[in-house]
Structures are given as C-alpha cells and as structure tokens.
Amino acid sequence: MTAPALQAAHGLAGAIAFHDSELGGPVAHLSSAHGTALVALQGAQVLSYVPRGGTEVLWLSPMARLGTAKAVRGGIPVCWPWFGPHPTDPRQPAHGLVRSLCWRVVETAVHGHAVRVRFVSTLETATAGFPAGLSAQLDVTLGEELALDLVTINDGDEAIELTQALHTYLKVGDIGSVTVAGLHGRPYVDQLEPPGQRRGARKLQTGLVVFEGEVDRIYATGDPIATVLDPLLGRRIVVDTDGSASTVVWNPWIEKAARLGDVGPDGYRAFVCIETANAGADVRTIQPGAAHRLTAMIHAATAAASGAGGLNPEAS
Ligand code: BG6
C-alpha cells in the first residue's frame, strides 16, 4: 500500500499520519501528549521515539535506507521467527525473515492519550521449517512509555519452536560511560567465547554491565528489567518486559562495527542494544491454535526526574 492509501485507510487526525519518509519508504508517525514515534512499514521497525520533554531514545544508523534488501540498522528491528542464526540451516538469514519485509497495517487506535498501530506479517509459504500461515502481530503503543507487543499466532497443525527478539538500539552519550543495571547475579551465555563457530561460554554477571570492548551476551533473566544508566545524556532508560526470560546485551565495538559497514564512523559509541528476547535456552514451543506474546516497555527519564537516586544504580 502507498503512503496516501495508508493515510486514507488508517490515518487518525492529530494522532497517526502515514507518509513517505526521506529514508525511502512509507512510515507511520505517531504523536500524542506523551511524545512522538516513527515506525517504518518495512519490518514494522520503530525508527524513532521521543518522549514529551525528552530527546531521542533510539539510535538509527546515519546510513539507514528503506527499500533495499538489507535490514535497516537501528531503531527496533523485529527478529522473528528465529533469533541469531537459523537453528538448523546456516543458509538462512540471521534474525529471521521479517526485518526487510513490508508488514500490513491492520488497525490504528487512540485510547485516552495512548496511540496504537497494529502491524501483521504472515508467512505466505512454508519457509525455513516454519509453516505457511504463521503470523506475527506487532502492536506499537505510544503512551507514558513506548510499548511493543509481538504476538505469534500458530494457526497451523503442528507445534513450532520459536526464538525472537525486539532488537532495541538505545541511543547513549558514549558507550564507555554507560552501565546496565538489573542483571547482577544473572547467568549469561557469552557469545564471543570461546572464539570460533560454536560459541557460548557460560558466565555469571557480577554488578553492573560495563563496556570496554565487544559485548554479545544472552542473559537468562527470570523477571528482567534492565536499566541503562547514561551519565553523559543525564538519563536512565528502563526496559521492562513480559513473555521473555532472556535479554540480549550487544555492542559491536570497533572491529565488528567496521565489518558491519553500516554503523558509521565511531557509531558504535552511540548505542547499546538491550534486546527483549526469547533466545538461547529460552525457546518457546507454540502449539497449534496457541499464541505467544512478547512485550517490551521502554521508559526514559532524565536523572532529575528519575527520583532521588538519579543515576545511582542502587536506585534501579
Ligand atoms: C545481536 C547478536 O542480537 O545482533 C549479534 O547477538 C549480532 O551476534 C547482532 O552481531 C547484529 O546482527 P545483524 O544481523 O543485525 O548484523
């Protein structure tokens, strides 16, 4: 659907507008008393979130372009129906099938000051071991926080095994001064060790997560709430979740960023990924007729607004 057709079918005056973005494809622009958000139809990928009175929460590559076969780096890519490499077939793309596909808009709504867009992507044919008809539905809700609800609906005849992530790129002042609270005492798989094809050393987090080189970890998190503490931007970003028992923390650092090619000079210093996931051992089996919901709630507050604790990690 073109942006004018989307606007005619789903635009809501003063709340949701569809237009062609300068990145080269249609986007939904959400606005409410709580702020603004921008979501590309490609990948149902949130590209921007600015809470009222605040600044941009998400990092987006300066090289981001819509409408190419390559997934856009930045914002919140949806990795579905698998996270990372395909479980059995190395020829399949990393992070699933829907990052560069155009999703359908099926509904827009306003509830009080909250604004919501619902996107759906359905597998047309059986692909990579997943049955035709398998659907992902993503609700993006701009309210007091930004909420993403990713619902997988298995209308087929067989159970499926699902891994996935809401691969959130959070904008930070400088990665070297950022810490992540909320993961103390959690076991994680270090995807960088030992080096080689089959990686995954098991470790235990002590204290805050700090960044002094590449970090690529899948934390097993019973009730995960990760908080990014950013003294340079003077804010904390809380990522609360539901339907997830795993959180991925990733920063590519210098060499991997250079290999990726779309991070930009020193771009790795400007983001940290806190990914709300079902990943690693957190594989979900979805029976025929059943559904699974994965939710990420992203809340940003300035140090002054985040209570007496400010950026004190003990207060998180
Ligand atoms: C992270 C993975 O989720 O995504 C990393 O843990 C990976 O291993 C990163 O490098 C980026 O993946 P991609 O496919 O967007 O380059």
**Is-catalytic flag, 34?**
no
pLDDT digits (tens, 9 = 90+) for 162-196: 999 999 999 999 999 999 999 999 999 999 998 76
**pLDDT category, 305, cuts 50, 70, 90?**
low
Angle (CA) 283 240 177, round 5°: 105
pTM: predicted TM-score of the whole model, two decimal places: 0.96
Domain range summary for the chain, segments of one domain joined by +: 3-315
Please name which of 112, 88, 64, 85 lies closest in space to residue 264, comparing C-alpha atoms.
64
Comparison of pLDDT for 309 and 171, the residue scoring more? 171
Name all residues whose Cβ lies below 6 A of ligand 1.
84, 94-95, 167, 191, 216, 248, 250, 260, 275
Q: Looking at 12-171, which runs of residues are DSSP E strands?
A: 16-20, 26-32, 35-40, 45-51, 78-79, 104-111, 114-122, 135-142, 146-153, 160-162, 164-171
Q: What is the mean pLDDT of residues 75-103?
A: 97
Q: Which residues, other chains included, contact 171 with Cβ-Cβ below 8 Å and sequence gap of 6+?
A: 56, 57, 58, 59, 233, 270, 271
184 given a catalytic annotation: no
Q: How far apart are CA 30 and CA 13, in angstroms?
A: 10
Q: Ligand 1 pocket: which of 164, 191, 197, 250 to mutate (most atoms <8 Å of CB)?
A: 250
Q: Assign 310 a pLDDT band (cuts: 50, 70, 90).
A: low
DSSP letters, 193-248, are SSSSSS--EEEE--SSEE-SS-EEEEEE-SS-EEEEEETTTTEEEEEEEES-SEEE
Assign domain 3-315 one CATH number from 2.70.98.10, 1.10.287.130, 1.10.600.10, 3.40.50.300.
2.70.98.10
Average pLDDT, the chain: 94
Q: Whose CA is nearest to atom 16 of ligand 1?
A: 260
**Most ligand 1 atoms within 8 A of CB, residue of 95, 166, 268, 282 to mutate:** 95
